[in-house]
Amino acid sequence: MKRKIILTTALSLIIGSHITAADNTTLKEAYAGAFKIGTAVNGQIASGRNAQGQKIAIEQFNAISPENDLKAEVLHPTKDTWNWRAADNYVEFGKNNGMFVLGHTLIWHNQSPEFFFKHDDGSDKSVEEMKEVLRSYIETVTKHFHGKVNAWDVVNEIIGDDGKYRSTVWTNSFKGDGDEIVKLAFKYASEYTPGTELYYNDFNVWRPAKRDGIARIVRMLQKEGIRIDGVGIQAHWGLNYPSREDIIAAIDTFAALGVKVMITELDIDVLPISKEGQVIGKSLNDPIYQLPEFEKFLDPYKNGLPDDVQAQLTERYRELMQIFYDRRDKIDRVTFWGVNDGMSWKNGSPVPNRTNYPLIWNRDYTAKPALKAILEIPGK
Ligand code: XIL
């Protein structure tokens, strides 16, 4: 009799500890009253070739971003060719699963074909020619996806840390007149795809000077009567940067302008150098950093994430999601830049061939403690 009681108590303890509310709740359910919860998907996930990744995407998320398949170099690889296959498949995947579907991105200096900017003989196109390149690309792409994507990142990463325009293929081709690029891009997008939301998206938006530079272009568009619906804060962040204060100030700045605020590309870098701040450019691509002595320093967790770093990652995710949840009246969507660590671009950037741990599902598709931590936030 006594043994039976002990046995049932033990059994119910085991079962009881397993069936908690948080265990079965999904991210999109937990945050349903707060904001959309998104993930970036690649072709493997959208097509189902990665079945485990696709399953998590469908179960947990209600918004998707195309990691690469709607970028100019994919859609329009050469002057005479358009390639809609992967992009159409992405849109279809989102539609079939009732998700909010983002288009990412129309005007960006990266992953754009060289023929946009140069003639066949290698000479630069004139500003007038470039205005037509911008217009016709936006026309073709937004009309193709009209009624199929819910929103576009119209301009991506055009502002520098100092709040001024960066020197890029786009701004150089407009002789530095970034305002003209931004105005034309948003104007054409609003004309060609009415009813689709239009966003500006960037990294390091928390930096005060950069934040204020982006706020200036939002106000400029509003003053001109050109529609902009939101600002995306990418959030490729580290364990200790940026500070809570800077994140909150950025959210508040854009909300005060009356546009939607979105966290669009969330991942947390835990590896040396890049966990301290986002390294832009190709400096760490130098083969020297692949030498054994540097590799040992730069890529320390090849065989697994130590418990203490896992705990830091959990706490960082908890801290960030709490900040977002507390400002849910200002935030429209929080999107992770991928489903699991294995697919993350952070394994290859800014240092190639590393083993990074930026997301909330492990390489084997098991959930990290961070998932449980952030699922608990809305219930509190
Ligand atoms: C990244 C993708 O994740 C990589 O696969 C690709 O090689 C480079 O681009 N800012 C953006 C995203 O707006 O489009 C970038 O995505 C990450 C930085």
Q: Which of 265, 276, 293, 319 is catalytic?
A: 265
Q: Could you tell me how many helices (H) and strands (E) the chain has, helices first? A: 15, 9
What six digits make up the tokens of 26? Answer: 């999904």
DSSP 118: B
Mean pLDDT of 116-137: 98
Ligand 1 geometric centre to CA of 154 (Å): 15
pLDDT > 70? residue 20: no
- Annotation marks residue 114 as catalytic: no
Ligand 1 geometric centre to CA of 71 (Å): 10
Which of 68, 70, 153 for a ligand 1 pocket mutation test, highest count of atoms within 8 Å of Cβ? 68
Ligand 1: residues with CB < 6 A are 67-68, 156, 234, 265, 345
- pLDDT for res 4: 46
Round to whole Å and give the CA distance between 15 and 329.
Answer: 37
Angular region, 281: left φ>0, alpha ψ -120 to 50, beta rest: left
- pLDDT for res 321: 98
- pLDDT for res 379: 86
Hey, whose CA ends up nearest to atom 5 of ligand 1?
Answer: 345
- pLDDT for res 13: 43
Per-residue pLDDT band at 23 (split at 50, 70, 90): low
**Burial zone of 361 (CB within 10 Å; 0-12 exposed, 13-18 middle, 19+ buried):** buried
Per-residue pLDDT tens digits for 3-17: 544 444 444 444 433
Hey, whose CA ends up nearest to atom 7 of ligand 1?
Answer: 345
- pLDDT for res 245: 98
Atom of ligand 1 nearest to the CA of 42: 5
DSSP 203: S
Ligand 1 geometric centre to CA of 380 (Å): 34
Mean pLDDT of 238-250: 97
- pLDDT for res 83: 98
- pLDDT for res 24: 85
In this structure, are residues 228 and 260 in contact, taking their beta carbons and an 8 Å threshold? no
Q: Residue 110: phi, psi to the nearest 5?
A: -90, 155
pLDDT > 60? residue 272: yes
- pLDDT for res 100: 99
Per-residue pLDDT tens digits for 152-181: 999 999 999 999 999 999 999 999 999 999
Q: Is the dihedral of CA 111, 115, 116, 122 positive or negative?
A: positive
pLDDT > 90? residue 26: yes
Round to whole Å and give the CA distance between 353 and 188.
Answer: 40
pLDDT > 90? residue 1: no
Share of the chain above pLDDT 70, in %: 94
Ligand 1 geometric centre to CA of 265 (Å): 9
- Annotation marks residue 276 as catalytic: no
- pLDDT for res 380: 81
Atom of ligand 1 nearest to the CA of 337: 3
Q: Which whole-number Å values give the CA distances from 313 to 121, 239, 266, 267, 335, in the listed order? A: 51, 7, 13, 10, 17
